[in-house]
Amino acid sequence: MSTLPLIELKSVTKTYGQGATALQALKGVDLSIEAGDFVAIMGPSGSGKSTAMNTLGCLDTPTTGQYLFNGVHVETLSRDQRALLRRRYLGFVFQGFNLLARTSAQENVELPLLYRGEPTKMRHAAAKKALASVGLAGWEHHTPAELSGGQQQRVAIARALVTEPAVLLADEPTGNLDTQRSREIMHLLWQLNVDHGITVLMVTHEADMAAYAKRILHFVDGVVDSDTRNPNPTGASHGGPDPHSMSHPAPAATEAN
Protein backbone atom coordinates (compact mmCIF):
# COMPACT_ATOMS: atom_id res chain seq x y z
CA MET A 1 0.00 0.00 0.00
CA SER A 2 1.39 3.41 -1.02
CA THR A 3 2.56 5.71 1.76
CA LEU A 4 2.79 8.73 -0.53
CA PRO A 5 0.74 11.78 0.47
CA LEU A 6 -2.23 12.38 -1.80
CA ILE A 7 -1.08 15.95 -2.43
CA GLU A 8 2.33 17.60 -2.14
CA LEU A 9 3.52 21.11 -2.90
CA LYS A 10 7.28 21.52 -2.92
CA SER A 11 8.77 25.04 -2.93
CA VAL A 12 5.86 26.28 -5.04
CA THR A 13 5.93 29.88 -6.21
CA LYS A 14 3.47 31.79 -8.37
CA THR A 15 4.24 35.12 -9.99
CA TYR A 16 1.77 37.16 -12.03
CA GLY A 17 3.10 39.70 -14.50
CA GLN A 18 6.68 40.66 -15.24
CA GLY A 19 9.26 43.24 -14.34
CA ALA A 20 8.31 46.09 -12.05
CA THR A 21 4.64 45.13 -12.09
CA ALA A 22 5.22 41.47 -11.14
CA LEU A 23 3.25 40.18 -8.18
CA GLN A 24 4.49 37.12 -6.34
CA ALA A 25 1.37 35.49 -4.90
CA LEU A 26 3.12 32.37 -3.57
CA LYS A 27 6.67 32.55 -2.25
CA GLY A 28 7.81 28.97 -1.76
CA VAL A 29 4.96 26.91 -0.34
CA ASP A 30 5.65 23.44 1.06
CA LEU A 31 2.56 21.41 1.87
CA SER A 32 1.63 17.76 2.31
CA ILE A 33 -1.97 16.50 2.51
CA GLU A 34 -2.94 12.92 3.27
CA ALA A 35 -5.93 11.18 1.74
CA GLY A 36 -8.97 11.60 3.98
CA ASP A 37 -7.85 14.86 5.57
CA PHE A 38 -10.14 17.88 6.06
CA VAL A 39 -8.12 21.08 5.69
CA ALA A 40 -9.34 24.65 6.21
CA ILE A 41 -7.24 27.29 4.44
CA MET A 42 -7.40 30.75 5.98
CA GLY A 43 -5.68 34.09 5.64
CA PRO A 44 -6.32 37.76 4.84
CA SER A 45 -6.98 39.04 1.33
CA GLY A 46 -3.80 38.86 -0.71
CA SER A 47 -2.28 36.17 1.49
CA GLY A 48 -2.04 33.62 -1.34
CA LYS A 49 -4.74 31.22 -0.13
CA SER A 50 -6.87 31.55 -3.26
CA THR A 51 -3.83 31.13 -5.50
CA ALA A 52 -2.88 28.03 -3.54
CA MET A 53 -6.42 26.66 -3.94
CA ASN A 54 -6.37 27.35 -7.69
CA THR A 55 -3.06 25.51 -7.92
CA LEU A 56 -4.37 22.54 -5.93
CA GLY A 57 -7.45 22.45 -8.16
CA CYS A 58 -5.34 22.39 -11.34
CA LEU A 59 -6.89 25.70 -12.40
CA ASP A 60 -3.46 27.33 -12.36
CA THR A 61 0.14 26.13 -12.53
CA PRO A 62 3.17 27.01 -10.39
CA THR A 63 5.78 29.40 -11.73
CA THR A 64 8.42 27.27 -10.03
CA GLY A 65 8.33 24.27 -7.73
CA GLN A 66 6.52 20.96 -7.85
CA TYR A 67 2.91 19.86 -7.39
CA LEU A 68 2.42 16.13 -6.97
CA PHE A 69 -1.02 14.52 -6.97
CA ASN A 70 -0.83 10.87 -5.92
CA GLY A 71 2.79 10.90 -7.02
CA VAL A 72 2.14 12.46 -10.46
CA HIS A 73 3.95 15.73 -11.25
CA VAL A 74 1.02 17.96 -12.12
CA GLU A 75 3.27 20.88 -13.11
CA THR A 76 4.52 18.81 -16.07
CA LEU A 77 1.05 17.96 -17.41
CA SER A 78 -0.46 19.57 -20.48
CA ARG A 79 -3.62 21.67 -20.25
CA ASP A 80 -5.70 18.72 -21.49
CA GLN A 81 -4.09 16.35 -19.00
CA ARG A 82 -4.82 18.73 -16.13
CA ALA A 83 -8.43 19.00 -17.31
CA LEU A 84 -8.68 15.21 -17.28
CA LEU A 85 -7.28 15.09 -13.74
CA ARG A 86 -9.88 17.65 -12.64
CA ARG A 87 -12.73 15.70 -14.21
CA ARG A 88 -11.66 12.37 -12.75
CA TYR A 89 -10.42 13.24 -9.28
CA LEU A 90 -11.57 16.70 -8.19
CA GLY A 91 -14.93 18.23 -7.27
CA PHE A 92 -15.51 21.98 -6.83
CA VAL A 93 -17.95 23.96 -4.68
CA PHE A 94 -18.05 27.75 -4.90
CA GLN A 95 -19.51 30.54 -2.78
CA GLY A 96 -21.85 31.64 -5.57
CA PHE A 97 -23.26 28.13 -6.24
CA ASN A 98 -22.73 28.58 -10.03
CA LEU A 99 -25.95 26.78 -10.97
CA LEU A 100 -27.67 27.20 -14.33
CA ALA A 101 -30.72 29.29 -13.49
CA ARG A 102 -33.29 27.73 -15.85
CA THR A 103 -32.06 24.18 -15.40
CA SER A 104 -33.42 21.68 -12.88
CA ALA A 105 -31.42 20.47 -9.90
CA GLN A 106 -30.99 17.08 -11.55
CA GLU A 107 -29.78 18.59 -14.82
CA ASN A 108 -27.33 20.82 -12.95
CA VAL A 109 -25.92 17.81 -11.13
CA GLU A 110 -25.66 15.82 -14.36
CA LEU A 111 -23.46 18.40 -16.10
CA PRO A 112 -20.05 16.93 -15.14
CA LEU A 113 -21.19 13.53 -16.39
CA LEU A 114 -22.48 15.07 -19.61
CA TYR A 115 -19.03 16.57 -20.21
CA ARG A 116 -17.55 13.12 -19.66
CA GLY A 117 -19.86 11.60 -22.25
CA GLU A 118 -21.68 9.29 -19.85
CA PRO A 119 -24.93 7.75 -21.17
CA THR A 120 -28.26 9.32 -20.25
CA LYS A 121 -29.53 6.52 -18.03
CA MET A 122 -26.33 6.48 -16.00
CA ARG A 123 -26.39 10.29 -15.64
CA HIS A 124 -29.97 10.28 -14.36
CA ALA A 125 -29.31 7.56 -11.80
CA ALA A 126 -26.06 9.10 -10.55
CA ALA A 127 -27.59 12.58 -10.21
CA LYS A 128 -30.59 11.26 -8.30
CA LYS A 129 -28.29 9.37 -5.94
CA ALA A 130 -26.07 12.42 -5.41
CA LEU A 131 -29.06 14.66 -4.63
CA ALA A 132 -30.40 12.10 -2.17
CA SER A 133 -27.00 11.98 -0.47
CA VAL A 134 -27.25 15.71 0.34
CA GLY A 135 -30.84 15.52 1.56
CA LEU A 136 -32.62 16.66 -1.60
CA ALA A 137 -34.51 13.56 -2.67
CA GLY A 138 -37.72 14.78 -4.27
CA TRP A 139 -36.29 18.13 -5.38
CA GLU A 140 -34.74 16.83 -8.61
CA HIS A 141 -37.00 18.85 -10.94
CA HIS A 142 -36.89 22.17 -9.10
CA THR A 143 -34.92 25.07 -10.56
CA PRO A 144 -32.56 27.21 -8.43
CA ALA A 145 -35.24 29.92 -8.16
CA GLU A 146 -37.42 27.38 -6.34
CA LEU A 147 -34.70 26.53 -3.82
CA SER A 148 -33.28 28.33 -0.80
CA GLY A 149 -29.64 29.35 -0.64
CA GLY A 150 -28.83 26.34 1.50
CA GLN A 151 -30.58 24.01 -0.91
CA GLN A 152 -28.80 25.58 -3.88
CA GLN A 153 -25.46 24.94 -2.18
CA ARG A 154 -26.53 21.34 -1.60
CA VAL A 155 -27.20 21.01 -5.33
CA ALA A 156 -23.73 22.44 -5.97
CA ILE A 157 -22.21 19.90 -3.59
CA ALA A 158 -24.17 17.08 -5.25
CA ARG A 159 -22.82 18.25 -8.61
CA ALA A 160 -19.28 18.08 -7.19
CA LEU A 161 -19.91 14.60 -5.77
CA VAL A 162 -21.58 13.02 -8.78
CA THR A 163 -18.22 12.09 -10.35
CA GLU A 164 -17.13 10.43 -7.07
CA PRO A 165 -14.05 12.64 -6.65
CA ALA A 166 -11.11 11.90 -4.37
CA VAL A 167 -10.89 15.56 -3.36
CA LEU A 168 -13.57 18.19 -2.78
CA LEU A 169 -12.34 21.78 -3.07
CA ALA A 170 -14.70 24.27 -1.46
CA ASP A 171 -14.12 28.02 -1.89
CA GLU A 172 -16.04 29.94 0.81
CA PRO A 173 -18.91 27.40 0.64
CA THR A 174 -20.90 29.18 3.37
CA GLY A 175 -20.14 32.76 2.31
CA ASN A 176 -23.66 33.45 1.01
CA LEU A 177 -25.56 31.58 3.74
CA ASP A 178 -27.02 32.47 7.13
CA THR A 179 -25.69 30.89 10.30
CA GLN A 180 -28.08 27.94 10.42
CA ARG A 181 -27.59 27.02 6.76
CA SER A 182 -23.84 27.47 7.12
CA ARG A 183 -23.76 24.95 9.93
CA GLU A 184 -25.86 22.51 7.93
CA ILE A 185 -23.48 22.75 4.96
CA MET A 186 -20.44 22.36 7.20
CA HIS A 187 -21.91 19.32 8.89
CA LEU A 188 -22.60 17.86 5.45
CA LEU A 189 -18.97 18.42 4.42
CA TRP A 190 -17.88 16.84 7.69
CA GLN A 191 -19.99 13.76 7.02
CA LEU A 192 -18.69 13.43 3.47
CA ASN A 193 -15.18 13.49 4.86
CA VAL A 194 -15.70 11.11 7.77
CA ASP A 195 -18.28 8.71 6.33
CA HIS A 196 -17.10 8.61 2.71
CA GLY A 197 -13.39 9.35 3.06
CA ILE A 198 -13.45 12.32 0.69
CA THR A 199 -10.51 14.67 1.21
CA VAL A 200 -11.87 18.19 1.76
CA LEU A 201 -9.90 21.38 1.11
CA MET A 202 -11.82 24.50 2.07
CA VAL A 203 -11.01 28.21 1.88
CA THR A 204 -12.86 30.23 4.50
CA HIS A 205 -12.63 33.55 6.33
CA GLU A 206 -14.79 32.29 9.19
CA ALA A 207 -13.10 30.73 12.21
CA ASP A 208 -16.27 28.93 13.32
CA MET A 209 -16.51 27.24 9.91
CA ALA A 210 -12.79 26.36 9.93
CA ALA A 211 -13.38 24.71 13.31
CA TYR A 212 -15.07 21.81 11.51
CA ALA A 213 -11.77 20.92 9.84
CA LYS A 214 -9.20 18.48 11.18
CA ARG A 215 -6.38 20.80 10.17
CA ILE A 216 -6.13 24.58 9.74
CA LEU A 217 -3.60 26.36 7.51
CA HIS A 218 -3.01 30.11 7.76
CA PHE A 219 -1.48 31.86 4.77
CA VAL A 220 0.33 35.19 5.21
CA ASP A 221 2.19 37.03 2.44
CA GLY A 222 2.38 34.06 0.11
CA VAL A 223 3.61 31.44 2.57
CA VAL A 224 2.08 29.03 5.07
CA ASP A 225 2.42 30.93 8.33
CA SER A 226 0.95 28.17 10.52
CA ASP A 227 -0.25 24.59 10.07
CA THR A 228 -2.09 23.19 13.07
CA ARG A 229 -4.09 20.08 13.82
CA ASN A 230 -7.52 20.68 15.29
CA PRO A 231 -7.87 18.13 18.12
CA ASN A 232 -11.59 18.73 18.55
CA PRO A 233 -13.34 19.45 15.22
CA THR A 234 -16.84 20.86 15.59
CA GLY A 235 -18.39 18.10 13.52
CA ALA A 236 -16.99 15.43 15.84
CA SER A 237 -17.47 17.16 19.16
CA HIS A 238 -20.92 18.66 18.74
CA GLY A 239 -22.53 16.42 16.18
CA GLY A 240 -25.18 18.36 14.32
CA PRO A 241 -28.13 17.81 12.07
CA ASP A 242 -28.02 14.92 9.67
CA PRO A 243 -28.57 16.33 6.17
CA HIS A 244 -31.11 13.60 5.49
CA SER A 245 -33.19 14.86 8.40
CA MET A 246 -33.24 18.26 6.70
CA SER A 247 -34.55 17.03 3.38
CA HIS A 248 -37.64 19.07 2.65
CA PRO A 249 -40.87 17.70 1.19
CA ALA A 250 -40.75 18.25 -2.51
CA PRO A 251 -43.56 18.86 -4.98
CA ALA A 252 -46.20 19.61 -2.34
CA ALA A 253 -44.00 22.16 -0.53
CA THR A 254 -45.14 25.74 -0.74
CA GLU A 255 -41.76 27.28 -0.01
CA ALA A 256 -38.12 26.33 0.24
CA ASN A 257 -36.38 26.75 3.56
pTM over 0.85: yes
Q: What pLDDT was estimated at residue 115?
A: 85
For residue 246, what pLDDT band results from cuts at 50, 70 and 90? very low
For residue 237, what pLDDT band results from cuts at 50, 70 and 90? low
* HSE value, Cβ hemisphere, 13 Å, CA-based, for 84: 6
- Please tell me which residue, 87 or 241, carries the higher pLDDT value: 87
For residue 247, what pLDDT band results from cuts at 50, 70 and 90? very low
pLDDT digits (tens, 9 = 90+) for 16-42: 999 889 999 999 999 999 999 999 999
Looking at the chain, list the stretches that DSSP marks H as alpha helix, in order from N- to C-terminal side.
49-56, 79-89, 105-115, 120-133, 149-161, 179-196, 207-210, 234-237
- Residue 141 clears pLDDT 90, i.e. is over it: yes
Alpha-carbon gap, residue 147 to 98, rounded angstroms: 14
Nearest to 186 by CA among 163, 207, 159: 207
Q: What pLDDT was estimated at residue 2?
A: 55
Q: What pLDDT was estimated at residue 249?
A: 45
* In the chain, where the domains are located: 7-246
Q: What pLDDT was estimated at residue 242?
A: 47
Q: What is the CATH number of domain 7-246?
A: 3.40.50.300
Alpha-carbon gap, residue 192 to 181, rounded angstroms: 17
Q: What pLDDT was estimated at residue 252?
A: 41
Q: What pLDDT was estimated at residue 236?
A: 73
For residue 95, what pLDDT band results from cuts at 50, 70 and 90? confident
pLDDT digits (tens, 9 = 90+) for 178-208: 999 999 999 999 999 999 999 999 999 999 9
